[in-house]
Amino acid sequence: MRQPRVGSPGVAVSTLLQAIVNGLMTGSVYALLALSIALIFKTMDTVNFATASMGAFCAFLFFQVGTVLGLGWGAGLAVAAAGAVVLGWAVERGIVRPLGSGDLFRLVLATMGLDIVLNNATQIFFGSGVQNINAPLPSGGLNVGGVNVDLARLVILGVAVAGAVVLALVLRYTNLGVGMRAYAQDPQAATLMGVPARTVSRWTWIISSLLGLIAAIMVASVSVLSVGFLQGTFISAFTAAVLGGLSSLPGAVAGGFVLGVLEALSIAYAPRAVTIALPVLIILVVLMIRPAGLFGRLSATRA
């Protein structure tokens, strides 16, 4: 491996590569949380603006059980996952179902309200301190051709990819997954095939909640845990989902990685203001040029 000299083309190339590698790693988190958003939009026709606070609440459970109570991260993960399932179930049963599906605006308002409630609940239960969750991730990094690959972030990328693959397998090969995909295309036709609307709704929220939990723990393990800590990531993930067409799951994943890389490139090459405004800029550009996103189609209207 030759050491690039300052000012040589090697430096420029490795800066670019470094930005791309960093971007892919951050992007994997966006991708996972974007999947959580897109899954709900695809099946339920609404955006869950409580995505971040639901995931964050469960990440606090993870910290509370694993670290504060000292039961270890395995127990923490089990309790947090159970919490995510219960929370997803409760939100569907208590808010989504009573409000009825098909009314995007009502549900959006309801999830915004839920977001406020959950953030306050998090603060009341777990305090407003800033915590370090000490996730069992490797430290240090690899140097690959002048590009530094952080091991912790590499594991996170692996977990995100694994999460996306598991979701794809569930949707493709389980009966419930087939029913969910059928329902997303035509709720009434799916009902006539015997797919129960409430089962689809319930599992969509539970799975989405679990994806949110994984993303929340991933973010917390490379930064810190505090009330509202996932909000910024949510905005990026929402942007990624819009970029991918909002109702396309492969689109959400691609959108996550694209946004991660664009963000890293803007950090490396553009003024800070551009990086901050990037999600908004991207949403504007997508809405103006290609409202269906990179992967979405402007689908036929439902009867």
Partner 1 sequence: MAADESGGLSLRGVTAGYGRSTVLHGIDIEVRPGQKVAILGPNGAGKTTVLRAVSGLVGVRSGTITLGGAALTGRRPDEIVKRGVAHVPQGRRVFPDFTVEENLRAAAYSRGGRDVDDDVARVLDAFPRLRDRFGVRAGFLSGGEQQMLAIGRAVVQRPRIVLIDEMSLGLAPILIKELYGRFDRLFADVPAVIVEQNPSVALEHCSYVYVLSNGEVKASGPASEFTSHERLMQAYAGAAD
Of residues 9 and 194, the one with the C-beta less far from partner 1 = 194
Of residues 148 and 185, the one with the C-beta less far from partner 1 = 185
Minimum distance of partner 1 from residue 296's CB (angstroms): 12
Q: How many helices (H) and strands (E) does the chain have?
A: 12, 2
Minimum distance of partner 1 from residue 192's CB (angstroms): 5
Minimum distance of partner 1 from residue 96's CB (angstroms): 17
Binding-site ranges for partner 1 (CB under 8 A): 175, 178-179, 181-182, 185-186, 188-197, 300, 303
How would you classify residue 257: left for phi > 0, otherwise alpha for psi between -120 and 50, otherwise beta?
A: alpha
How would you classify residue 4: left for phi > 0, otherwise alpha for psi between -120 and 50, otherwise beta?
A: beta
Sequence-ordered alpha helix ranges (H) in 135-248: 151-173, 175-185, 187-192, 197-222, 231-243
How would you classify residue 64: left for phi > 0, otherwise alpha for psi between -120 and 50, otherwise beta?
A: alpha
Sequence-ordered alpha helix ranges (H) in 223-271: 231-243, 249-269
Of residues 106 and 284, the one with the C-beta less far from partner 1 = 106
Minimum distance of partner 1 from residue 253's CB (angstroms): 17
Sequence-ordered alpha helix ranges (H) in 5-50: 9-44
CA distance to 172, 230, 282, 294, per residue, from 289 (Å): 32, 29, 10, 10
Minimum distance of partner 1 from residue 106's CB (angstroms): 17
Q: Which residues contact 137 (CB under 8 A, 6 or more apart)?
A: 151, 152, 155, 156, 221, 222
3-state secondary structure at position 174: coil
CA atoms within 13 A on the CB side of 291: 3
Minimum distance of partner 1 from residue 122's CB (angstroms): 36
Of residues 1 and 303, the one with the C-beta less far from partner 1 = 303
Of residues 42 and 153, the one with the C-beta less far from partner 1 = 42
Of residues 288 and 303, the one with the C-beta less far from partner 1 = 303
Of residues 55 and 251, the one with the C-beta less far from partner 1 = 251
How far apart, in whole angstroms, are the C-alpha atoms of residue 114 and residue 133?
25
Minimum distance of partner 1 from residue 240's CB (angstroms): 22
Minimum distance of partner 1 from residue 201's CB (angstroms): 12
Of residues 143 and 301, the one with the C-beta less far from partner 1 = 301
Q: Which residues contact 127 (CB under 8 A, 6 or more apart)?
A: none
